[in-house]
């Protein structure tokens, strides 16, 4: 089952960026475990109705960043990561969301203790 990627063509975010973000997120959540074979550029381009150039740019950058690696010739797979690197990869999507939340907190003049209390409260709510 190939990863389900959804591209919004009209939000102004380059499609290659959307692919990269979604692949990273799926790896972080375990949807794409290490060793998973990615669809070929051609197949993904057909599936998403996107220019093959866009797919190869996203794949190329993910490979460059060490998220994917090439195996047995051309197949791209999810690279296995360990320790600190794996941890950073996993929390990165959350970190990005929190950067936006922190900016909003400053804009609303919400104090630090209040913002932290709110985040803890939400975390606790979710686990109930």
Question: Which of 27, 50, 76, 78 touches other proteins by CB under 8 A?
Answer: 50
State the DSSP string of 86-106: HHHHHHHHHHHHHHHHHHHHH
Closest to other proteins by CB, 52 or 66? 52
By the 8 A CB rule, do 59 and 76 touch? Answer: yes
The contact mask relative to other proteins for 83-122 (x = CB under 8 A, - = no) is --------------------x--xx---------------
Contacts of 93 (CB under 8 A, 6+ apart): 21, 24, 25, 28
Q: Is residue 57 a contact residue for other proteins (CB under 8 A)?
A: yes
Binding residues vs other proteins (CB under 8 A): 9-14, 16-17, 41-42, 45-46, 49-54, 56-57, 60-61, 64, 103, 106-107
């Amino acid at each position: 089952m190939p990863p389900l990627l959804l591209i919004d063509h009209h939000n102004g975010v380059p499609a290659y960026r959307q692919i990269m973000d979604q692949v990273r997120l799926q790896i972080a959540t375990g949807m794409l475990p290490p060793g998973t074979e990615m669809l070929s550029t051609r197949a993904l381009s057909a599936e998403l109705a996107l220019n093959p150039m866009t797919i190869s740019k996203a794949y190329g950058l993910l490979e460059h960043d060490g998220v994917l690696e090439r195996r047995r010739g051309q197949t791209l797979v999810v690279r296995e990561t360990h320790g600190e690197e794996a941890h950073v990869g996993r929390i990165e999507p959350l970190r990005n969301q929190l950067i936006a939340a922190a900016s909003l907190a400053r804009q609303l003049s919400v104090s630090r203790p209040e913002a932290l209390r709110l985040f803890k409260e939400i975390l606790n709510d979710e686990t109930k």
